[in-house]
Amino acid sequence: MKRPISISNIPNIEKDDIKLYLKLLFNFSLYKKGNFEEKLKNWFIDYFRVEFVFNFITGRLALFEILKSLNLNNEDEIILQAFTCSVVPEAIIAAKLKPVYVDIDKTFNIDVNNLKNKITKKTKVIIIQHTFGIPAEIEKIKEIAKKNNIIIIEDCAHNIGSKYKNKLLGTFSDIAFFSFGRSKAFSATNGGIIITNNKNLAKKLEIIEKSINYPSNSRIFKELLHPIIFYFLINPLYDFLNIGKLLLIILQKIKILTFEVSKKEKEGFFEFKNIYKMPNLFCFLALNQLSKIDKYNNRRKETVKKYLKNDKILQLSSLENFAQSDIEKYFNPLLRFPLLVKNSNELIKKRRKGKIYLGDWYSNVVDPKGVNLEKIYYQKGSCPNAEKISKQIVNLPTNPTLKDNEIEKIIKFVKINI
């Protein structure tokens, strides 16, 4: 069967990754503790030139543990942007802190002017999300943070290797975290990494990391099954008489396949039962993906440049009106390429024509759909630009596995349907 062009569901997994998944599926001796944990940490130390690296089962847990290590007082305020995933404010709330939402600018990141208005005496941390791998106004935010004695956490969940002024994102702040989730730029089915040069924070995180265990073998096995099932069954059968879609629903109902954001998390509950280290096997899978970092990131940048050469896409990205410095931010290995359209819902429905599946991050001001905004402290109307953009957003894939003819097919689809 011909596979659909998809923005999610193991978008960066290649044949060598699948062979590795199959090879390791029943190799239980490698599941939990092993030398790949240290090798992955050393990779980050070398690549980012940092002193300390810690690993946890997910990016959201990495953020939660960072917040815990700061020893803040209950109800201290943590600034984050709207136009994000619900697991970010949920990690803040789970740490008994208060999320305060800031509106976004034209690059889908923190609006610096709105940020200034949201800072109070209780503000202790600013979480800077580099949305899609597009750099935020990191230098301006750092100036504001320094002036107000505020800690910065960089959320680099969307990319490893994006740069701002030739400096790697993740190295501008006190501390940063990354994600190896299944829909991220580099996937190990799951995993979260923290990097820092702060010795005091590192001591606390080391104690936390040593105090927690690995997930069960059954959890690891189930996570490994996910990309295998998608690769061989869901993706090739997705559009064939809806068999793939039906199979996905059944496997999720019987809990063989899991959701990236659980029902409980949609209701505002942080999954404390999932507080684990990133197991050795996931570290092995992450290293295999990172061995292709130059290949993957260069390919994503090539795809972005192909999109930007098209007048229609350039217009819909609003980059025509950007300053050159803002346009340059897009010359990064973006996880997804954002467009703003009037008929986003209609376009998402049309995407099935030609087996092209576009993305909709973040079609809710705090995603995914169905999230209880009240439970995560978001007040409707507080971030009007983010709310407006969330109704217009469509993402084009930048998967490193995309072929040139598939990119042309996506461009043609956009020209015809918008």
pLDDT reported for residue 197:
98
CATH number at residue 69: 3.40.640.10
Question: 40 Cβ partners below 8 Å, 6+ apart?
Answer: 53, 55, 193, 278, 283, 286, 287, 290
Domain co-membership, 35 together with 176: yes
Does any domain span residue 278? no
Domain co-membership, 191 together with 325: no
Residue 93, domain extent:
28-211
Q: Among the three residues 166, 196, 211, which one is the final residue of a domain in this structure?
A: 211
Domain co-membership, 55 together with 165: yes
Domain co-membership, 182 together with 328: no
Domain co-membership, 304 together with 188: no
Domain co-membership, 107 together with 205: yes
pLDDT reported for residue 236:
79
What are 24-37's pLDDT values in tens digits? 999 999 999 999 99
Number of domains in the chain: 2
Domain co-membership, 328 together with 183: no
- Secondary structure of the chain in the HEC alphabet? CCCCEECCCCCCCCHHHHHHHHHHCCCHHHCCCCCHHHHHHHHHHHHHCCCEEEEECCHHHHHHHHHHHCCCCCCCEEEEECCEECHHHHHHHHCCCEEEEECECCCCCECHHHHHHHCCCCEEEEEEECHHHCCCCHHHHHHHHHHCCCEEEEECCCCCCCEECCEECCCCCCEEEEECCCCCCCCCCCCEEEEECCHHHHHHHHHHHHHCCCCCHHHHHHHHHHHHHHHHHHHHHCCCCCHHHHHHHHHHHCCCCCCCCCHHHHCCCCCHHHCCCCCHHHHHHHHHHHCCHHHHHHHHHHHHHHHHCCHHHHHHCCHHHCCHHHHHHCCCCCCEEEEECCCHHHHHHHCCCCCEECECCCCCCEECCCCCCCCCCCCCCCCHHHHHHHCCEEEEECCCCCCHHHHHHHHHHHHHHC
What are 274-312's pLDDT values in tens digits? 789 999 999 999 999 999 999 999 999 999 999 999 988
Does any domain span residue 193? yes
Q: Among the three residues 143, 178, 211, which one is the final residue of a domain in this structure?
A: 211
Domain co-membership, 52 together with 198: yes
- 51: tokens are 């002193």
CB 270, CB 276: distance < 8 Å: no
Does any domain span residue 281? no
Domain co-membership, 190 together with 328: no
Does any domain span residue 277? no
Domain co-membership, 165 together with 40: yes
Domain co-membership, 200 together with 334: no
- 296: tokens are 């993957």
Q: Among the three residues 153, 179, 211, which one is the final residue of a domain in this structure?
A: 211
Does any domain span residue 359? yes
What are 321-379's pLDDT values in tens digits? 788 878 889 999 999 999 999 878 777 666 665 578 888 899 999 999 889 999 999 99
Does any domain span residue 257? no
Global confidence as pTM:
0.95
CATH number at residue 409: 3.90.1150.10
Q: What is the Cα–Cα distance from 120 to 109, expressed in whole angstroms?
A: 20
Quote the mean pLDDT of the chain. Answer: 92
Domain co-membership, 59 together with 191: yes
CA contacts within 13 A on the Cβ side of 257: 19
What are 121-170's pLDDT values in tens digits? 999 999 999 999 999 999 999 999 999 999 999 999 999 999 999 999 99
What are 73-91's pLDDT values in tens digits? 998 999 999 999 999 999 9
- Categorize the per-residue pLDDT at 205 as very low, low, confident or very high, splitting at 50, 70 and 90: very high
Does any domain span residue 317? yes
Does any domain span residue 261? no
